[in-house]
Chain A
């Protein structure tokens, strides 16, 4: 697209964001805003679809929590058909990447969505949140710490090793890097629709991307690459090889929460809930006899390995699986690592480019010879 001007809104980033979202609703650019909102009763934020201009005051756009991966929710809303009315959706990069994958998997529609993708400073584990509201000061403190890579407690492991903290797709990129989010907010149009929405909202003033932005992003990415490598090396020590893998999953109770929280695991009926896994009683006895004993519920490792096979080519390393595990199994040590390896053989990065075909939906005549047929 042609170079559309960047909008700079002066003032606190959350306040500026709300001003922009309010303008979108007031000027009828969109009929609803999907964004994280403060709860009236309770702490933390939940996603909500806000249709009322007054309701925008509830939006807490940069709260450092991610209760669910929003792509799953957008999929629920748009699985049957595209939204009839224009909606603005505020997403983290891992959420918009998961949404792109879900669209490719025919589980969501992006038409009529104005995707506002925010630079991401990561999220805290829900369980680490104290019983106090996430007020402006605490969020500002988190943002400052996270930008300096100095969050000590509670940062989700998947966030600490994330290289995709700037959105790849969407209509508007909300810039936090390169500016002081306490004083300014960058709204960078990344599509024609985004530029049109910014013009229609009429907030802020035109400006330019500060040169410091690119440098900050590159430095951060380089540091994250190192962190990711180190984390994976540690993970390999902890869970590399069959015996260690068994140990790693020893606390698994087979609740399948990891699957339910995964934005990519969309199947209405999972293979593991299908009649294929209903067995006659004598089967269990046979298996126990063959191995001497049988862990029950069974198929712990089979479940995780199969889930990897089914979804890892689209895994966006959002860490929702790790967050969902009731026993704190650090799934970020498995899924992002395997996802990097698998996606690399197809030269694919999940959710990066909506035009790229899913690795399992296409093939080349000659490929993969060292791994495939030999």
Chain B
């Protein structure tokens, strides 16, 4: 298990989490490189299909990062993202899939340290869980 490196796909809002990730980098914070970031214009644009596709095609976990409540660049995209992700996680739970491999986090553009902390937390958490059974099933 020790050589297992979790693959994590991150969908990060352009206006907050993606900038926080940049900030963490430019301020030379150390965090594990397991997250593959994908910049999106708003967490509200992340259709669950992309999350599921990532999980079925190799990702051990997915994180969606958006603006704190009230801070959405498009007023309420993050609130809609929260409902979408709640639906996705409820569906996964109902069907006995590992819903705890999907994370939604609010990380503002100024929160470089929070981004680094969550990257560390998530990597460790998923490392403990081990590889996802959904990740490599050819017959899915």
Which residues of A pack against B, CB within 8 Å? 236, 239-246, 250, 271, 287-288, 290-295, 300-302, 305-306, 308-310, 312-313, 334, 337-338, 341-342, 345-346, 359-360, 363-368, 371-374
Contact = CB atoms under 8 A, between A and B. Distances in A.
A275 to B, nearest CB: 14
B16 interface: no
B74 interface: no
A292 B96 contact: no
Contact of B133 (A243, A288, A359, A371): A243
Interface string B109-140: 00000000000000000000000011011111
A323 B140 CA distance: 23
Contacts of A271: 47, 49
Given A246-B139, A306-B49, A374 B91 contact: no
B38 interface: no
Contacts of B58: 290
B75 to A, nearest CB: 11
Given A242-B97, A309-B47, A341-B91, 14 more contacts: A242-B133, A290-B57, A293-B139, A306-B48, A309-B91, A312-B91, A313-B87, A342-B90, A365-B70, A371-B86, A372-B85, A373-B82, A373-B106, A374-B104
A273 to B, nearest CB: 13
B36 interface: no
B85 A371 contact: yes
B41 interface: no
Interface in B70-91: 70, 76, 79-80, 82-91
Nearest to A309: B48
Interface residues of B, number: 40
B95 A245 contact: yes
Contacts of A288: 138
Contacts, number: 124
Contacts of B57: 287, 290
Nearest to B87: A342
B139 to A, nearest CB: 5
A360 B85 CA distance: 11
Q: Taking each of B47, B53, B89, B94, which has the highest tally of chain A beta carbons within 10 Å of its own beta carbon?
A: B94
A246 B66 CA distance: 32
Interface string B38-82: 000000000111001100111000000010011000001001101
Contacts of B103: 374
What secondary structure prevails in chain A residues at the interface with B? helix
B86 A301 contact: no
B86 A246 contact: no
A101 to B, nearest CB: 15
Nearest to A291: B138
B94 A338 contact: yes
A368 B86 CA distance: 7
A331 to B, nearest CB: 13
Contacts of A373: 66, 82, 104-106
Given A295-B138, A302-B56, A341-B90, A363 B49 contact: no
B138 A292 contact: yes
B91 A338 contact: yes
A192 B63 CA distance: 51
Contact of A308 (B83, B91, B139): B91
A12 B133 CA distance: 58
B96 A306 contact: no
A294 B137 CA distance: 9
A359 B56 CA distance: 26
Given A242-B96, A302-B140, A360 B90 contact: no
A345 B47 CA distance: 19
A309 B56 contact: no
Contacts of A293: 138-139
